[in-house]
Chains A and B, each alone.
Chain A
Amino acid sequence: MPRYAVTVPVVIIAAVLPLVLQLIGERQVYWLFVVSEFFVFAIVAISLDLLMGRTGQISLGHSGFVAVGAYTAAILNARFGVDLLGGAFAGGSLAAIASLFLGVPATRLRGHYLGIVTLGFGIAVDQIALKWDALTGGDQGLHLHRPTLLGLDVGTPVLMYYVALIALIVATLLVWSLTRTRLGRAFAAVKDSEIAAAAMGVPVASTKVVAFVCSAFLAGAAGGIYAFLAGFVAPEDFGIDSSLLFFAMVVIGGMGSIPGAIGGAIIVDAIKNAAATVSGLSLAILGGMIVLVVLFFPGGLKALLRRRTAKRRPLDRTRNATVPLDA
C-alpha cells in the first residue's frame, strides 16, 4: 500500500472535519479548539521526535522551547501587533537561539546528563516566565489581539483550525524532507553510534547542535501558533507536566517516525482530555503505557501498524528489516 493511500484520506478527513462538526452542531467551537490544539501538539511531538527518535538525544524540557515561542509571539503581538506568521517565525527563531544554550553543552554531555540538563531548562523557563512579570505578565499571563495572518483576519475558530492544520502539514513535510538530506542521515548515524558516525566523517558535535536547533525552532513555532490559538499564555501551560506529555507522545507513537509521533499525539491528547477531571489518572495511564511500550512493543504504535502491513505484503519485509525496532 503506497504511502499516499493513508496520507491523502487522513488529510481529506481533517480538511472536512469542521464541516462535519457544523452539521452535528453541538459544542462545535469546543471541539474545533480541541482538534486545533492537537494539531499544534502534534507539531511539538514531531519536533521532539526529530531530536529523540532521529538523533537519539533526549529532551525532558521540550515545553521550555514551546514556552519561549509562545511568549515571544504573545509579547510581539501584544506590544507591536505582529501577526501570526511573524509571531510563529520569531517564536521559532528565539527558541532556536535558546536551544544553543543547551545544545552546545549537550555536545559535551554523556547521554543521561542531557536528560537532567534539559529537564532543568524546562523548569528554568517556567520560573523565569513567572518571575519576570514586567515582560510576561507573571502568573496573570498575557492576552493577545485577535489573530491576523498577512493582513487577513483569522480570528474565527474555523479559520484558526485550518491555520493549525496547514502548519502541521508544513511541519510534517519539512521534517520528512530533512530526514532525506545528508543532514538527516547524519542525525541517524549519530543516533546509531556516535563513534561509528565520527569514524565515517560525520561531525558529531555540530550535528547534535543542529538537531537541537531544528527541533527547538519547530517547537517554538508551534508555541507561537498555540499562543494565537488560545489567545492567552500563562506559565501553567508549559510546566514539566506538558514536557512529559510530549515525551509520552513520542515514546508511545514509536520513536523515529512522523506518523508515529502524530499517532502518539492523538493517543496522549485523547487520554489527557478524557482523564482531565480526575487528578493523577492521565499521569498513571501514560506512565503505565510508557513502561509497557518499552517492555513489550519497543517500536511503539508505528511498529504495531508496520507489523500488520508487513504481514500482508511479505515481499516488502526486506525494506522493513533495516529499520531498528528497538530504538
Chain B
Amino acid sequence: MTQYLLQISLAGLAQGSLYALTALGLVVIYNASTVVNFAHGAMGMAATYVAYVLISQLHVPVPLAFVGAIAAAFILGAVVQALLLERLNGAPILTQVVVTLGLFMFLEGVLGLAFGYNPRPMAPPIAIAPVTVAGLVLRPQDIVQLALLVALGVALAALFGATKLGLGMRAITENTYAARLMGIPVGRVLGTAWGLGVLLAAVAAILAAPTTSVTPNMMDTIVVYGFIAAILGGFGSLVGAVVGGLILGVIVNMIDAFLAPELAMSIVFGLLVLVLYVRPDGLFGRKAVQKV
C-alpha cells in the first residue's frame, strides 16, 4: 500500500511539474505587469502548434523544432505585451483580464479553424524504457519534466535575484513611474517578462503534448490547474508557484486514484475556495495592502 501511495505521489509530482511550469510563467508575467494572463495556456498551445508544424510538415529535427517553438513563444509574448497590454497601461484590472480572455478565445478559434479539433499526435522526444528505482517506476518524460522544472526554477530565481533585468522587473512591480524615472526601459523589461512567461507556458505545453495530443484546447485543464497552483502559492512567489504546482499534482493524482476522476476539478476548486477563505492570499502569499 505504501508502495502504491508512493507511486501515485511520484506520478503526481511529475504531472504537477507541468502545473508548476505553467504557474511559474503566470507569476513571472504577473510580477512584472500585475496582469493575470488568461491567454496563457492558449499561447503555450500556439507554440506547440509551431513545433508540430516544424516536425511533421517541414521535417525539421525534433530538438531544433523545440527551440523554434520556444523562440516563437517568446516573440508571441513580447508582441502581445507591446500591441495589447502596453495600450492598456493603467486601465482597471477588469479591462486587462477581458483583453487576455479575448485573446484566449481568438487563439483557440484561429488554431481550431486552421488545424481542426481532431487531436494530432506528437511523439515523445525521448523513447527510452521506464526505469525502476526501489520498486518505483519512473517514466523518462517524468524525469525530464521534473529536471526541467528544477533547472528553469533555479534560472528564474537567479534572473530575478541577481541580474539587472530582474531588478528592473521588481522595480516596475513596485512603482512603474518611479522605475521609468530611474532610467529603466520599462517597455523592454515588460516585453521580456511576457516573453519569458509565455516561454514557460510553451515548455509546459510541449511537455504535455505527447500525453494530451496537439489540439486547440490541449492546455485548458493544465492552465486551470496552473492558475490554482499560482493562487495557492500566493500569486507572486516563484517558490510558491512551484510548491503549489507540485502539491496540486499529487492531490489531483490522489483524487484520480481514490475518489472520482470526473470530479477532480470540482473537488480541487472546492478545496481552493476553502483555502482562500482561510488564507485569502494563498499559502505562501504576503498580505496585499490596497492602496488608493
CB distance from A269 to the nearest CB of B (A): 16
Chain A residues with CB below 8 A from B82, complex form? none
Give complex CA distance A167, B102 in Å: 30
Interface residues on A, range: 35 or more
Chain A residues with CB below 8 A from B216, complex form? 280
Residue B99 lies at the interface, judged by CB distance under 8 Å to chain A? yes
Interface residue count for B (Cβ, 8 Å)? Answer: 51
Q: Which 9 A-B pairs have the closest CB atoms?
A: A280-B112, A284-B109, A287-B105, A290-B102, A287-B106, A283-B109, A120-B269, A124-B266, A112-B36
Contact of B38 among A115, A279, A283, A288 (CB under 8 A): A115
Give complex CA distance A210, B102 in Å: 28
Q: Are B270 and A288 in contact (CB under 8 A)?
A: no
Give complex CA distance A108, B231 in Å: 13
Give complex CA distance A47, B105 in Å: 22
Chain B residues with CB below 8 A from A294, complex form? 88, 95, 98-99, 102
Beyond contacts A113-B231, A287-B106, A295-B88: 16 other A-B pairs, Cβ-Cβ < 8 A, are A52-B94, A101-B273, A105-B277, A108-B277, A120-B266, A124-B270, A131-B263, A195-B292, A240-B220, A280-B216, A283-B109, A286-B105, A287-B103, A290-B105, A291-B84, A294-B95
Chain B residues with CB below 8 A from A110, complex form? 280, 288
- Counted as pairs of residues, one from A and one from B, with CB atoms less than 8 Å apart, the total is 153
CB distance from A212 to the nearest CB of B (A): 14
Chain B residues with CB below 8 A from A195, complex form? 290, 292
Give complex CA distance A284, B112 in Å: 9
Q: Are B107 and A287 in contact (CB under 8 A)?
A: yes
Chain A residues with CB below 8 A from B228, complex form? 116, 120
Chain B residues with CB below 8 A from A279, complex form? 112-113, 116-117
Q: Which residues of B contact A (CB under 8 A)?
A: 36, 38, 84, 87-88, 91-95, 97-99, 101-113, 116-117, 216, 220, 224, 227-228, 231, 235, 260, 262-263, 265-266, 268-270, 272-273, 276-277, 280, 288, 290, 292
Residue A74 lies at the interface, judged by CB distance under 8 Å to chain B? no
Give complex CA distance A251, B100 in Å: 13
B90 nearest in chain A by CB position:
A326
Chain A residues with CB below 8 A from B280, complex form? 108-110
Q: Which residues of A contact B (CB under 8 A)?
A: 52, 56, 58, 60, 101-102, 104-105, 108-113, 115-117, 119-121, 123-124, 127-128, 130-131, 193-196, 240, 244, 247-248, 251, 278-291, 293-295, 298, 326-327
CB distance from B39 to the nearest CB of A (A): 9
Contact of A251 among B102, B109, B116 (CB under 8 A): B102
Whether A288 contacts B102 in the complex (CB less than 8 A), given A116-B227, A117-B273, A283-B109, comes out as yes
Chain B residues with CB below 8 A from A284, complex form? 105-106, 108-110, 112-113
Chain A residues with CB below 8 A from B99, complex form? 290-291, 294-295
CB distance from B214 to the nearest CB of A (A): 15
Chain A residues with CB below 8 A from B106, complex form? 283-284, 287-288, 290-291
Q: Are B109 and A120 in contact (CB under 8 A)?
A: no
Chain A residues with CB below 8 A from B265, complex form? 120, 123-124, 127
Q: Are A285 and B290 in contact (CB under 8 A)?
A: no
Q: Are B290 and A113 in contact (CB under 8 A)?
A: no
Q: Are B93 and A112 in contact (CB under 8 A)?
A: yes
Give complex CA distance A101, B99 in Å: 27
Chain A residues with CB below 8 A from B98, complex form? 251, 290, 294
12 contacts between A and B (CB under 8 A): A58-B94, A101-B273, A120-B268, A127-B263, A251-B102, A279-B112, A280-B216, A287-B104, A288-B102, A293-B102, A294-B95, A295-B99
Chain B residues with CB below 8 A from A251, complex form? 98, 102
A110 nearest in chain B by CB position:
B288
Residue from A127, A130, A289 with most neighbouring chain B CB atoms (10 Å): A127
Give complex CA distance A128, B164 in Å: 49
Chain B residues with CB below 8 A from A116, complex form? 36, 224, 227-228, 231
Residue from A58, A283, A289 with most neighbouring chain B CB atoms (10 Å): A283
Give complex CA distance A124, B227 in Å: 16
Q: Are B262 and A130 in contact (CB under 8 A)?
A: yes
Q: Are A123 and B276 in contact (CB under 8 A)?
A: no
CB distance from A173 to the nearest CB of B (A): 27
CB distance from A310 to the nearest CB of B (A): 22
Q: Are A278 and B88 in contact (CB under 8 A)?
A: no
Give complex CA distance A291, B38 in Å: 13
Residue from A109, A130, A240, A290 with most neighbouring chain B CB atoms (10 Å): A290
Q: Are A248 and B272 in contact (CB under 8 A)?
A: no
CB distance from B243 to the nearest CB of A (A): 18
Contact of A111 among B93, B103, B260, B262 (CB under 8 A): B93
CB distance from A324 to the nearest CB of B (A): 10
CB distance from A216 to the nearest CB of B (A): 16
Chain A residues with CB below 8 A from B117, complex form? 279-280
Residue from A52, A60, A105, A248 with most neighbouring chain B CB atoms (10 Å): A105
Residue from A117, A279, A284, A285 with most neighbouring chain B CB atoms (10 Å): A284
Q: Are B101 and A127 in contact (CB under 8 A)?
A: no
CB distance from B170 to the nearest CB of A (A): 20
Q: Are B111 and A280 in contact (CB under 8 A)?
A: yes
Q: Are B290 and A123 in contact (CB under 8 A)?
A: no
Residue from B263, B265, B273 with most neighbouring chain A CB atoms (10 Å): B273
